Amino acid sequence: MWELLARSLEASTVFLFAALGELVDQRAGVLNVGLEGLMLFGGTAAFITAQTTASYPLGFLAGMALGAFLGLAHGFFSITLRGDQVVSGMGLWILSFGLTTYLGGPRTGPLGLERIPGVLGLSPFFPIGVILVAAVWFLLFRTSLGLAIRSAGENPAAAEASGVSVVAIRYLCVIGGGTLAGLAGATYTLSYNPVWTYNFLMGWGFVSLALVFFSMWNPWILLAGASLFGVMWQLSLSPELVLPGVLSRYVWRTVPFAITIPILVVISTSWFRTRWGLAKPEALGRSYVKG
């Protein structure tokens, strides 16, 4: 049972890193629907680097650096060129789906390094995730930089008038968010499941994106949501632990995705939006034109 929980928390960490980065992006008003693409690229870069250099730190660095670079690319298109954020995000995703399949294909198989040691079977990344949640919460709600980030996402014109450089803030956030997405991918391929296979994420990035909406843009609720989905994910992989012999294992695999849809529906109802959903950044997805 403990083993299952430890494994669940490790899965949660992947969701958490990716979603936390996206949360910071969105708080500054930039929507990146290509989160899965950033994770695929980060994970593949980390895997290839770690395998060729036999060094975990270098692998993580490579994954995070590539994530940051792709965040920057998304920023250039959506902030400087004021392009459609959905077009850019989807572009990043398809680009990564294609290129990582090509780059990672020859390395299909296990990483071949000794596993990253954990404490009592729990990987060191979950505590790091909790610390990051606290740090992001402190940054967003207790510092002037956080106020600048939130105002850039709520009302960029007012933020600019009060002396905040919306462009600089948004760039900072997309690069930071990209770094975390790269870290999420690296955690997946180096720690959670150190085997490269074709399209290894199969929707983790999109689930993380949904988690940001579920969290109402609050890091602590995000932590709870990510933990819940991590447990659900592990249970869907081994349903025999709870309900042996009920339904095919393939049907259980659909559960985490199937649950996401009703939650999305509930948080989209006007009943929910008027009572709890007020946290949505007002300028989310809209480019800012300095006037």
Partner 1 sequence: MRLGRHELTLEPRPALPAVYAVLGAVVAILLALVLASVLFLSADAPLFAAYRTVFSYAFFNPHGVLATAQRSIYLLLCTYAFLVPLRAGLWNIGLPGQVYAGALAAFAVPFALRATGSPPALPAGVLVALMVAAAATAGAALGGFAGLLRARLQVNEILVTMMLNSILVWLVAYMIKEGGPFMGATAEGESFSLPPPLYAPLLQGVPFTALLALGAAVFLDLLFAKTALGYRIRAFGENPSAARYGGIIPVTLSLFVFLLGGAFAGLAGYHYFAAVPGVYKIPGNYGYYGDLGFYGIISALIARGSSLGAVPIAVLFAGLSLGARFAQGALRLPFGVDYALLGLLMMTFIASHVLYQFRLIWRRVEAQAPAIAAEMSRE
Q: Report the interface residues with partner 1, using CB under 8 A.
A: 33, 77, 80-81, 83, 86-88, 90-91, 94-99, 101-103, 105-106, 199, 202-203, 206-207, 209-210, 213, 248-251, 253-254, 257-258, 260-261, 264-265, 268-269
Q: Which is nearer to partner 1, 141 or 271 (CB)?
A: 271
As a whole number of angstroms, the distance between CA 207 and CA 181 comes to 13
Q: Which is nearer to partner 1, 162 or 199 (CB)?
A: 199
From residue 39, how far is each of 60, 147, 231, 239, 249 by CA, in Å? 12, 28, 20, 27, 26
Residue 153: CB minimum distance to partner 1, A:
17
Residue 229: CB minimum distance to partner 1, A:
12
Dihedral in degrees, nearest 10, Cα atoms 221, 42, 51, 109: 80
As a whole number of angstroms, the distance between CA 35 and CA 205 comes to 5
Give the amino acid at 234: Q
Residue 33: CB minimum distance to partner 1, A:
6
Nearby residues of 88 by Cβ (< 8 Å), 6 or more positions away: 34, 74, 77, 78
Q: Which is nearer to partner 1, 87 or 119 (CB)?
A: 87
Q: Which is nearer to partner 1, 123 or 208 (CB)?
A: 208
Residue 172: CB minimum distance to partner 1, A:
20
